[in-house]
Structure 1
Amino acid sequence: MRRRRNGLRVLMWGCVLAGMPLLAAGMLQLIPQIPVAANRLNDLRTDLEQEPADNREDPPCLSSGYGWLAEEPDAPKPEQTTEVATQPEAEPVFYASGDPGEKPYPTVWHPGSARIVRMAYQRYSGGNIVDLDKCGQVRNCTSVDNAALLEESRKAPAFTIMGDGSPEVLIMHSHTTESFEPYVREYGDAEFNYRTTDPALSVVMVGDQIEAQLKKAGIGVIHDGTIHDYPRYTGSYDRSRVVVKRILEENPTIKVVLDIHRDAIVSNGNLLQPVIDVDGQDTAQVMIISGCDNGSLNMPNYMKNFRFASCLQQQIESDTPGLTRPVLFDYRKYNQDLTTGSLLIEVGSHGNTLAQVKRAGSVLGASIARALLDLKEET
């Protein structure tokens, strides 16, 4: 019996030793992939911290109050903003070095398996959709009655503007590094998480287009490109809140704060590219988000923001039919308690191209300017 056991042990160790070269060879093949895997893991972790993705089918609003979720199990989760009211608002340390460093836009592309699907959101229907009087719609993901929202939409915004060149609009970006596709193509890039610190290739570029249209109309604008979401994504709204409060204190004439983002829309593993034709040019669709207080967000004036959202929605749809998706009215804060003209606007998605969102920013800016000029005080 002892000889048999010894024989089995010899055989077992022989197998182990014989397999060591094969194991070593396999490990050597894996070593070059470790940095790539680490980068993708980091990108995935970051993606899981961003706002909820949308999808083409638009399932009913969830009881959680965060709208809808993507079909993918890895759908990004909403960044919680309810903590902002209880957190101290002392000047935060943005980056240990004072410089976030660079996150370059790719120069070499690696097409992956995610197909880019060109589409356009059409008019919505359903029990939670509110049709505004003039044009445009609202997607009500709250317990507020649709009739009450429609009545609020008929009221004028809670502010007027002077239009004398003094700063009255602040454009900023809580997620400053959000970026887009380089050009129209069939597949997205498996190694690009659609973020860059290059302001010419991020949502800052979209803000530039809006700024140009407002200034052209004689409306004073401050466009702040401070990076709030890199190298650390979590806490972006806490950091942007401090910056916005400082700018408001330094410029008390500001009435409107526009937090310009891009969406992340995925359906069945595909990146959606919501786009319409405007004067023969591809133009990304946009969506306004107006937050609602569920009793814990400390937003007493949220309905005044909603009035402004409804005003903008109807102006944009009147100027460019089909450019907007319905206003998303949902239990979200996004620092919209700081003024009665604070809104978040999603311009396109990560499936849209730089040219498409640049065009959308220009068209959107022209409509915002018209809406604001209608609110100009008579002198």
Structure 2
Amino acid sequence: MSAKAVSVSPKTEVCNIMITIRRATYDDVPALHALAERFLLKNLKNPESTGFLISNFSLDAYKHYVDTAEYFWVAEQEGKLGGFLLAYKSESIQPEEVVNSCLRYSVIQPFTLIKQICGSGEVRGAPTALYNKLFEEMETDLALAAVVNEPLNTKSIDYHRKLGFSHLWDLHPPADYDGVVRARSIWFYSKTNTRPQTRMAQVDRPELVQHLIEKEQGTVNLYMHEDNLNWTKLGMLVSFMTAILTAFAFLLERDATTTNNWIVSVLVVFGFVVNIMFYLKLKSGLGFLNHHKKNLQRFDEAISGMLPSVPHYLDLSTAKRSVTVRVMIALPVFSLGLWTVCAGLLIHRYFL
């Protein structure tokens, strides 16, 4: 297959530099394997914001695809690896490919399966150039991609939507290679702008959308309730610490007596119990808050796939922690550290 040059967007600084797309060779396999390894879920600290792959192929498997896959391309720019795309026709799907076999059975018309696409981040626009070449060269009118929902691959979903992909349905396959069952969302690109025919049971879409919106609203209520509960816990911690620090200031000026020694002992223990208790309660509350947020993101994605005009409840473009969450994490830790210092002063004053 001859190489094809694709211009980078003129808005970038490298507008005059071409991205070259060519057929993958055996010599490319080690670099492609290493690139895919870099973006494995298990190797990423923040996979939901960067995008990820669930598993990588072996070197021999990639070499096999060099010989057999209809579309196995590498994107380069001035010798730098920009990424690669691996795709093949639906009739090439093998029985051992469980998820892909489900797609082959469920979708009536022939399609091109996008098995892997991975960008290195070193060549801007490389993944898009790879996809554009696929859309031009593929012999079918339909392309399918399976995106992992657990954890939610937000980066991949947003990217595919921008390229013109639409949500088809969700799939709950058997366990992956590591024994974990991960739901997938199936996305399609159609040259004819028509929804593919499937053997899946058809549902009343307006009724399904209404059902999803109702469940999303319930998740919103749970999210808001948990958020308010966490702020209540934080307020109670501040109240307790105000009382404890007042007692600390009073006792720091008193003389050591048997009674005061007992009071100081109780206060020191009580202060640590209060701080540790609220730290654990807030940590648990933030865990529930994050769980509800992820569920809300899933409902947002499902509804947006059916009704793109419906606005999101949450900003899905970022996975950064909000200022309030940072406060709820930092304040209990600061309070515990502060009481450790105060307790040390009391112990030194009364017992040393």
TM-score by shorter chain over 0.5: no
Which category describes the TM-score, using the shorter chain as reference length?
under 0.3
TM-score normalised to the size of structure 2? Answer: 0.24
Higher RCO, 1 or 2 (CA under 8 Å, sep at least 6)?
A: 1
Structure with greater proportional helix content: 2
TM-score normalised to the size of structure 1? Answer: 0.23
Tell which structure's C-alpha radius of gyration is larger: 2
